[in-house]
């Protein structure tokens, strides 16, 4: 947590203030409803979604992230529902959200399976998961992300963890990131869209 508080305490937004490109492209296809954004950092995706009419609950373990998210929301005269908590500790109602966005929400493998099950359970039938994160091929690249293979994604792992979805599309892509100073340059990402 100290790592994230230090990063988000910097004056500039670590990953910029624009929403993640993939998240935006997929969210724009959906009818606004209830959206959950764990690991939301400084609020860029939450604020974009709120401006599109979504009812958003954002969560992160960093108090500094929450402060930056509140500042970003205030630019648009919005009030953000942001919870400072460990994702694993949050109590989420079953069949509640229309969408969950997992944008660079990297967790250790032993927690990730449980957290992804939690995400699945809190989605309404017909609800959508939008995920983008660094693939295992990202290791060694300087464009961001965890430095441990255990924290990075593979298509096979995600397919197993979200096997209960009625529709599931997963791809690994080489992209050029331009998200603030910490996500910049050539990167290998996994993108997933699933419908419960």
In the structure encoding, which two tokens stand for residue 134, read together?
């660094």
DSSP assignment of 155-184: HHHHHHHTTT-SEEEEEEEEEEEEETTTEE
Q: What's the whole-number average pLDDT of the chain?
A: 95
pTM for the full predicted model: 0.96
pLDDT tens-digit readout, 152-185? 999 999 999 999 999 999 999 999 999 999 999 9
Provide the pLDDT for residue 28. Answer: 98
- How far is residue 58's CA from residue 83's CA, in Å, rounded to a whole number? 6
- Structural domain boundaries in the chain: 2-195
- How far is residue 150's CA from residue 5's CA, in Å, rounded to a whole number? 23
- How far is residue 46's CA from residue 54's CA, in Å, rounded to a whole number? 9
Neighbours of 34 (CB within 10 A): 18
Provide the pLDDT for residue 1. Answer: 55
Q: 2-195 in CATH: which number?
A: 3.40.50.150
How confident is the model over 117-131, as a mean pLDDT? 97
DSSP assignment of 21-88: HHHHHHHTTS---EEEETT-TTSHHHHHHHHTT-EEEEEES-HHHHHHHHHHHHHTT---EEEES-GG
pLDDT tens-digit readout, 85-113? 988 888 999 999 999 999 999 998 889 99
**Which of 100, 108, 111, 95 lies closest to 194, judged by CA?**
100
Provide the pLDDT for residue 64. Answer: 94
Q: DSSP 3-state assignment of 106?
A: coil
């Amino acid at each position: 947590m100290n790592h994230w508080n230090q990063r988000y305490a910097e004056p500039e937004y670590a990953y910029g203030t624009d929403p993640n490109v993939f998240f935006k492209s997929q969210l724009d296809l959906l009818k606004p409803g209830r959206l959950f954004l764990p690991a939301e950092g400084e609020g860029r995706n939450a604020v974009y979604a709120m401006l599109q009419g979504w009812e958003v609950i954002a969560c992160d373990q960093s108090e500094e992230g929450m402060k930056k998210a509140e500042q970003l929301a205030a630019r648009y005269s919005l009030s953000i529902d942001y919870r400072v908590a460990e994702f694993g500790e949050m109590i989420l109602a079953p069949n509640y959200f229309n969408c969950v966005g997992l944008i660079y929400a990297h967790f250790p493998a032993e927690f990730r399976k449980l957290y992804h099950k939690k995400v699945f359970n809190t989605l309404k039938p017909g609800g959508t998961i939008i995920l983008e994160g660094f693939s295992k091929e990202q290791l060694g690249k300087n464009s961001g992300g965890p430095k441990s293979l255990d924290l990075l994604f593979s298509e096979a792992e995600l397919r197993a963890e979200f096997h209960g979805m009625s529709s599931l599309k997963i791809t690994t892509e080489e992209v050029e990131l331009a998200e603030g100073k910490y996500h910049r340059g050539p990167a290998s990402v996994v993108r997933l869209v699933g419908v419960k």
